[in-house]
Structure 1
């Protein structure tokens, strides 16, 4: 896995940190947050008492260690984290109310103790259009102490006006086999493989129930599910073209891959791939994600008959 480091020589108000491995993005963002929140806000005023003394710490190092621990424990008052499942009624999107409550309505409040106030928005590609328009107002005229980090799998999900106001940093991609091996340990991934292996025989009701489980019970991030489906379809095409099992990423789903490759023509595979690419491109702008996934699976079923 490749590491990612955010340059610290010049601080910007907004970053888009893009990559497939959310844990890698979070690790880089948290380390950058530690560096930002460890900076002494009193240093801009000549003669001011250093912040570590104001806070009762014996040294600058002790102060920095305190900052790191509080950031890692998600307890620092100048670090705000926004994720898709807050508020709970919108588990698969970041709604406009979420952005208003946690970003736009709070940016005017200055940092409690640090020189910066940091916002970390995980799975930022899950912001729906109203949410993106809401945060755009902050990106257009951010207070000088605000730093917003959008952590996302796909930059294409953002409005052009958002992209024009952020510094983009791309993370190295994880090995595909490593990504698949990690995802297949999850219940949702195992159930997805089971569904795909029987897709020709599934009723519309069963497919709808599966989509409901994805969003309501398992609360799978849309990007993770689509990435998983992308690996499966790639393997189906690979096996159909080469018949070489050793080239497959999904080694523990070989039987499913072979059955799908036998049932689908190249034309139907191309249609399924096009449908998936459209979902990847439009995932943020499609309000009814269950319907989008249901339509994809129904079309996949029909091309497998």
Structure 2
């Protein structure tokens, strides 16, 4: 089980022990940034839990395993939501609370996977709480979230919180080894991905990653010299690439974390972007510690606004102004 998942051994051990001891929790929160493997863990655990084969689970051959492979298992339900920016109370009531009252169709358990669970409104969380307080014995709820702190304390107290962590750079290189990447591109991806395998694979598969990186670096080097329209034009040009704009912001954020690190330590060897030392040192001399923190907070705010479908150009304009003014 979990052989194809790299890293996060503590989560593998938890799920294996739960299955072996037949002490499956009614609710788990898998928490970590996008790309760390939350959904992969949830699906692999569900596959093993529902497996009908004998011996090691999941067997990969039984009816249940084949249904899981085709994402059409009747007792593994993906709870969706109508609005992209939020999961409302009706989504939880219809997709989970009412459905969980119906016994499993063919398995001993009925599993509910709620992706982007941090988007649940307070009302939706309170609705879910009613089920968590008295769950049926066969019910298993897996909440996938980028931030466990977004949940009400009453939800957290009734679920097992499993925090996913980035993998080691050596593990990341191993995961990308079979993709035939040139050494310099491989190392750039490893440095930028920060132990996030999903993000690293997406970059490796993007033919435009190197061009995107060059344009963002050019923007960061000249952010204080360019006027706002020039900056916005550069940001607009990034939309043509396959990587999401949030990945571009992540890239900028990591560059500014290097600025903060160098300002605090004056040690270039600690930098992710060592090749950018000249520009990072220059920015560290200009910015104060509170200024850098404000810039980083502005980037996080921009990502939240994009998740909430706030106007793209307005969001990016505010972020760029925050950089220029600090």
- For this structure pair, what is the TM-score category when the shorter chain's length is used for normalisation? 0.5 to 0.7
**Quick check: 1:21–1:174 contact (8 Å CA) kept in 2?**
no
Aligned residue in 1 for 2:24: 11
Matched ranges for 1:289-300 at <5 A: 295-300=318-323
Residues 1:81 and 2:86 are matched in the alignment: no
Aligned residue in 1 for 2:287: 264
**Quick check: 1:30–1:72 contact (8 Å CA) kept in 2?**
no
Aligned residue in 1 for 2:66: 69
Q: Any gaps of 5 or more consecutive residues in structure 1? A: 40-51, 53-59
> 2:193 is matched with which residue: 165, 168, 179?
179
**Higher RCO structure (Cα 8 Å, ≥6 apart):** 1
Aligned residue in 2 for 1:302: 325
Displacement of 1:140 after TM fit? 2.9
> 1:2 is matched with which residue: 8, 28, 32?
8
Matched residues in 2 for 1:237 and 1:260: separation?
9
Aligned residue in 2 for 1:164: 157
Deviations 1:59-116 (A, max 9, x none): x997963322321331212112246xx54x52xx342154444323422332221111
CA RMSD of aligned residues (A): 4.2
Aligned residue in 1 for 2:179: none
Matched residues in 1 for 2:234 and 2:126: separation?
32
Displacement of 1:2 after TM fit? 3.2
**Quick check: 2:51–2:59 contact (8 Å CA) kept in 1?**
no
Aligned residues: 272
Question: If the length of structure 1 is used for normalisation, what is the TM-score?
Answer: 0.68
**Quick check: 1:78–1:118 contact (8 Å CA) kept in 2?**
yes
Matched residues in 1 for 2:263 and 2:101: separation?
57
Question: If the length of structure 2 is used for normalisation, what is the TM-score?
Answer: 0.64
Matched ranges for 1:1-305 at <5 A: 1-3=7-9, 4-5=11-12, 6=15, 7-8=18-19, 9=21, 10-20=23-33, 22-38=35-51, 65-82=62-79, 87=82, 90=84, 93-96=85-88, 97-175=90-168, 177=191, 179-180=193-194, 182=200, 190=213, 196-200=220-224, 201-203=226-228, 228=251, 230-250=253-273, 257-258=280-281, 260-273=283-296, 279=301, 283=304, 295-303=318-326
Q: Secondary structure at the match of 1:267?
A: helix
Displacement of 1:301 after TM fit? 2.6
**Quick check: 2:115–2:145 contact (8 Å CA) kept in 1?**
yes
Deviations 1:143-165 (A, max 9, x none): 32221111223211222222122
